[in-house]
Amino acid sequence: MQISEQSVINRHSLSLTGNQLKILACISMFADHAVKAWYVHGMTYTLLSSVLGRIAFPIYCFFITEGFFHTRNSRKYILRILLFGVLSEIQYDIIFYKTAWYPKNQNVLFILACGLLMFVCLSYVESFRSMHIALSWVLRLFIVAGFATAAHYLFLDYRERGILCMAVFYFLRGQQPTSVPALWACLPLNMRHFSNPGSFLSAFPLHFYHGERGAANLKYFFYWFYPLHLLFLLAIQHFVLHVR
């Protein structure tokens, strides 16, 4: 009994909750956006954007996948993310493209919503238990390819790479340790000339996730963080940097 209790203590001493991982993702995303919005260059840009800033997206994809399997209403889940995507788009375009409407790249919440819709389609196919396994996999791969194509032509952030990243998390859900699906999910993000090597760092914090959300209910903090942090970056960009 003493050994068992000690192992539980050791396990929890090395654990990260869902809230802690999402806060890490918020810090990572803020660092990436800040150096771009505030025109930071050199080694600081490399460290904050190309390294620290690449951790966020795989963590978000992981929790979007987790959220899909725990939500009671996937339709409301998708609509909620789309709503905050709409609330964020104007400031996103102004910060990064200097216009209130830039149709050739959409903020990250739209690719996450697209991934959720893909999960709905995949789970529908999986609900047919009598379907031959080969046909089932053909349909699932066709769905992934279709959503990847849509993400590319709709100019969603991360394009088809983002969809493939989420698809890997979906198909490898439940694998332990969590770092294993994370490493596989980061491979699609590096399809183009190994352009996001920093994303593999996300596997390290995800390795210590054991399924606990955390004591505080920060659900809407994480939703509101995205549009509000963009407004903050925009305000600094306009009122400070333009005054120089």
Q: Which of 163, 214, 207 is nearest to 185 (CA)?
A: 163
| pLDDT mean over 78-93 | 98
Q: Is the pLDDT of residue 201 over 70?
A: yes
**Integer CA distances (angstroms), 54 to 24, 63, 120, 218, 220, in order:** 11, 16, 27, 23, 23
Determine the structural domain holding residue 93 and report its residue range: 2-243
In tens, the pLDDT along 115-165 reads: 999 999 999 999 998 999 999 999 999 999 999 999 999 999 999 999 999
In angstroms, the CA 194 to CA 182 distance is 16
Q: Is the pLDDT of residue 44 over 90?
A: yes
For residues 23 and 193, which has the higher predicted lDDT (pLDDT)?
A: 23
Domain count, the chain: 1
In angstroms, the CA 77 to CA 65 distance is 12
For residues 44 and 10, which has the higher predicted lDDT (pLDDT)?
A: 44
What are the CB-based long-range contacts (under 8 Å, 24+) for 190-199? 191/161, 191/164, 192/161, 196/54, 197/54, 198/50, 198/51, 198/52, 198/53, 198/54, 198/55, 199/54, 199/55, 199/57, 199/58
Tell me the average pLDDT of the chain: 92
